[in-house]
Amino acid sequence: MIPWTRRSFLVKTPALSVATPALGIAFGAAKGVGGAGKPALLGGPKIRSEKFPSWPVSGELEERALIETLRSGRWYRGNGQQTKKFEDAYLKLTGARHCLATANGTSALYVALNALGIEAGDEVIVPPYTFIATINVVLRQHALPVFVDTNINTFQIDATKIEAAISPRTKAIIPVHLGGSACDLDTILSVSRKHGIPVIEDACQAHLAEWRGHKVGTYGKAGCFSFQASKNLTCGEGGAILTDDDELYERCYTFHNNGSGLKAPGGNFAYSGTGDNRRMVEMEAALLLQQMTRLEEQSQRRTANALYLTSLIKEIPGITPAQMHDGCTRNAYHLYMFRYRRAEFAELPRTTFLKALTAEGIPASRGYSPLNKERFLKAALESRSYQKLFPENVLRNWEERNECPANNQLCSEAVWFTQNMFLGSKSDMDQIAEAIRKIKKHAGELTAA
């Protein structure tokens, strides 16, 4: 019996799996990259039975840091040092002037909106292709989300359509760097400057991503990050705001600390504003400091694997990987996204394509559905507060004004792989490509089944 499977061999010798790319290709070729064999969904052998690398990754570093923080008895930023240390480290990493750690990414956005004075009756420009938190924070302010369609090639907000969505009520733009790639910041910032409307970058999925050589999250008035469990940098739940604006930083600090600011006169129980409690916990910061030591290496591995996968699947008719905008000089690959066109796969519905991929041992999902069409949004607009705050014609025309046809199409075609799938070897990528080719080859049978 061979003591090691090919997978465990590669896992146990990571340098080898990275340093000898030809090895991965050879394995892929040996497995028949041409896509032979009956699909697993129809009872054939699956292409992959090993699990992809699990997430999150932790070890002694994290254990030691957590125990030390636990034993210190200093569990919150008021008497501990971990949160401040993390903020300093994140500043160093991103090149921003200020960093404020928060309870989560939603809180980062919420605090930034409040610190910028976005309030009831305002409008905020948002993409429809994002996690719901980007929209929820706008609704929490009783502001009106105004959706700008998606660029179907990049999966990012179509920045060329933002200007047309601006009204006298528009008080902020929240572009999202979706999936770890960057949205078109040149166009967005130029519209922002022209109209004097602040940009809050939602960089919750984009740690280490760059626009023209600088980290995303450092271009807008504020940049918001999430360290939730699925994210490339995680402590389970957590978030951060970056800003270069001294005053805005103070306002963010004050708001996230129940109105008690950095310079509040009189110490405890002195308030320089209203607020909420959105503070990070010391254990989270301690964990993040250790996770950061792994971030660069993990990121490079994801990038190498993602680029390799793109080279394998981009020529498959019906598969179109998400493109990057020209200014995106680093993609963090939080998600690997592509469009699936069923017409090229014998009309095999995307749902069956996803099931077939998953049956081959390649977990895949369909990603977001169109947020601008969510029923709860309609209910929000019909609520008493919105009826009081917005002119009747604004609410009546909202649906028409918020049509996003490109996004509708994208939501019907998108396929996602999660970031942990890119932490393994090139041969993992060969298997993904092999599974797609296999399904394509048997698409007719799968459609008929």
Residues that bind ligand PLP (CB under 6 A): 104-106, 130-131, 133-134, 176, 202, 204-205, 226, 228, 239
User: Of 134 and 218, which CB lies nearer to ligand PLP in the complex structure?
Assistant: 134
- CA neighbor of 217 nearest in space, from 336, 112, 352, 314: 112
User: Of 69 and 107, which CB lies nearer to ligand PLP in the complex structure?
Assistant: 107
Q: What is the DSSP letter of 55?
A: S
Torsion sign over Cα 60, 61, 64, 69: negative
The answer to whether the CB of 283 falls within 8 A of the CB of 69 is yes
Shortest spacing between CB 104 and ligand PLP, in angstroms: 4
In angstroms, the CA 396 to CA 381 distance is 9
The amino acid at 185: L
User: Of 156 and 425, which CB lies nearer to ligand PLP in the complex structure?
Assistant: 156
User: Of 130 and 151, which CB lies nearer to ligand PLP in the complex structure?
Assistant: 130
User: Of 353 and 368, which CB lies nearer to ligand PLP in the complex structure?
Assistant: 368
Shortest spacing between CB 126 and ligand PLP, in angstroms: 10
Q: Which helix (H) or strand (E) holds 170?
A: strand 170-173
User: Of 238 and 424, which CB lies nearer to ligand PLP in the complex structure?
Assistant: 238
Residue nearest to ligand PLP (CB): 105
Shortest spacing between CB 55 and ligand PLP, in angstroms: 14
Question: Peptide bond preceding 127: is omega within 30 degrees of 0, i.e. cis?
Answer: no
In angstroms, the CA 370 to CA 181 distance is 20
User: Of 333 and 345, which CB lies nearer to ligand PLP in the complex structure?
Assistant: 333
- CA neighbor of 133 nearest in space, from 4, 8, 239: 239
Shortest spacing between CB 202 and ligand PLP, in angstroms: 5
- CA neighbor of 207 nearest in space, from 237, 182, 183: 182
Shortest spacing between CB 164 and ligand PLP, in angstroms: 23
- CA neighbor of 216 nearest in space, from 248, 179, 165: 179
User: Of 130 and 290, which CB lies nearer to ligand PLP in the complex structure?
Assistant: 130
Residue 227: C-alpha distances to residues 56, 132, 292 (Å): 11, 16, 11
Shortest spacing between CB 130 and ligand PLP, in angstroms: 5
The answer to whether the CB of 161 falls within 8 A of the CB of 183 is no
Residues 6+ apart with CB under 8 A from 158: 148, 149, 150, 151, 406
Give the number of other CB atoms < 10 A from CB of residue 140. Answer: 13
Shortest spacing between CB 252 and ligand PLP, in angstroms: 16
Shortest spacing between CB 180 and ligand PLP, in angstroms: 10
User: Of 104 and 260, which CB lies nearer to ligand PLP in the complex structure?
Assistant: 104
Shortest spacing between CB 193 and ligand PLP, in angstroms: 24
